[in-house]
């Protein structure tokens, strides 16, 4: 956009030179240049209202278009974020769409997680339990076996050709994973015999980084990755007493069955969460100032039966490395400010 000085110079350049010596003529040109500059600025201002990222007084019109309430007390950048989130929130709800809507807001960079990855539900729902099996916890089954090969089973249709990973804690016993086709023919996907492998619990997993966890899984007997056969109509997971013992007490705990390879396993045991979505804010520490707008925008695109779990990042003790007590005192921070303080 040209300013008044540029327009004034151009207008003088269009006139014969001798007009420059006539004060009245110069004054007329100068006033015309000033009016033209104001008209030019007004045109650009109107054009700016056509785009959400540059609109100011035109935001109210955008809000009417998207059926949003106008609150002039809110900062302009927050109002723009709400409009952009509404504009983006159309189509099938996916992780990518949720992320796109959240990131239309300032400081809205997020990681989105679907929590229904574990196919095993609490209290061994949908399991066919042996008469000698007892539920002793949400994800803990105890089998007091009176004979060999006493089994509790879980059946589910899985996607043919896809990889799945199974994990469980236990004391001893056997787990078998088998696939059945429409004719009832069984294909063994191999099992895991616990009495010959190292005991592995989540307490050992939690201190590890994700890469360390992924790299160590191949040597742990509690993990099994398998590919579902192309003719499969259901896969059966069986908790079984040993075939070489007539009696015994077997505990099967914290089982997980997830789609994907072993690298997809979470860092700790993850229970079944039906219809949950987790949203972790990673672009800034603490709760964003416009969190209510973010939550409203995301809630509007996600079906009502899906719950949303919001998580925020705060400064931990490890994040204060390099800081001194004197530096903290000099910063004169309240505790809530210290939670989001970044050491420079």
Tokens of 336: 């809530």
Buried-exposed string 90-113: b where 16+ CB fall within 10 A, e elsewhere: eeeeeeebbbbbbbbbbbbebebb
pLDDT value for 171 = 58
pLDDT of residue 90: 56
For residues 298-312, give the mean pLDDT.
79
The string of pLDDT tens digits covering residues 287-304 is 877 788 888 888 877 877
For 20-44, the pLDDT digits (tens) are 778 888 888 888 888 888 888 889 8
**Which pLDDT belongs to residue 332?**
65
Q: What pLDDT, in 10s, does the model give residues 86-142?
A: 776 555 677 788 888 777 776 667 888 766 578 888 888 889 999 999 999 889 999
Residue length of the chain: 344
Region 216-235 average pLDDT? 70
List, for residues 50-86, the tens digit of each pLDDT value. Answer: 998 899 999 999 988 888 888 888 888 878 877 877 7
Cβ(271)–Cβ(122) under 8 Å? yes
pLDDT score, position 146? 92
Residues of the chain with pLDDT > 90, as a percent, come to: 15
């Amino acid at each position: 956009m040209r300013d008044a000085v540029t327009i004034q110079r151009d207008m003088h350049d269009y006139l014969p030179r001798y007009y420059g010596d006539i004060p009245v003529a110069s004054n007329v040109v100068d006033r015309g240049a000033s009016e033209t500059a104001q008209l030019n600025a007004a045109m650009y201002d109107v054009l700016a209202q056509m785009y959400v990222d540059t609109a100011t007084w035109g935001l109210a019109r955008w809000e009417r278009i998207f059926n949003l309430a106008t609150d002039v007390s809110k900062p302009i950048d927050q109002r723009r974020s709400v409009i952009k989130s509404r504009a983006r929130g159309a189509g099938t709800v996916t992780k990518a769409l949720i992320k796109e809507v959240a990131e239309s807001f300032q400081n809205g960079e997020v990681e989105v997680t679907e929590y229904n990855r574990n196919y095993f539900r609490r209290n061994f729902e949908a399991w066919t339990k042996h008469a000698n099996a007892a539920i002793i916890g949400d994800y803990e089954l105890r089998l007091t076996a009176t004979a060999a090969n006493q089994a509790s089973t879980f059946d589910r249709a899985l996607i043919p050709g896809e990889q799945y990973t199974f994990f469980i804690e236990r004391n001893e016993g056997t787990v078998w994973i088998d696939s059945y086709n429409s004719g009832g023919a069984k294909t063994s996907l191999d099992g895991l015999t616990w009495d010959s492998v190292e005991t592995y619990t989540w307490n050992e997993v939690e201190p590890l980084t994700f890469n360390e966890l992924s790299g160590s899984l191949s040597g742990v007997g509690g993990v099994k990755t398998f590919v579902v056969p192309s003719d499969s109509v259901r896969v059966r997971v069986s908790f079984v007493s040993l075939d070489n013992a007539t009696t015994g007490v077997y505990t099967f705990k914290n089982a997980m069955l997830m789609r994907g390879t072993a690298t997809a396993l979470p860092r700790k045991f993850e229970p079944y969460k039906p219809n949950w979505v987790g949203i972790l804010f990673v672009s800034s520490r603490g709760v964003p100032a416009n969190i209510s707008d973010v939550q409203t925008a995301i809630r509007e695109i996600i079906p009502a039966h899906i719950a949303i779990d919001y998580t925020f990042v705060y400064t931990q003790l490890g994040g204060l490395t390099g800081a001194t007590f004197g530096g903290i005192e000099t910063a004169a921070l309240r505790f809530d400010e210290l939670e989001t303080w970044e050491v420079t």
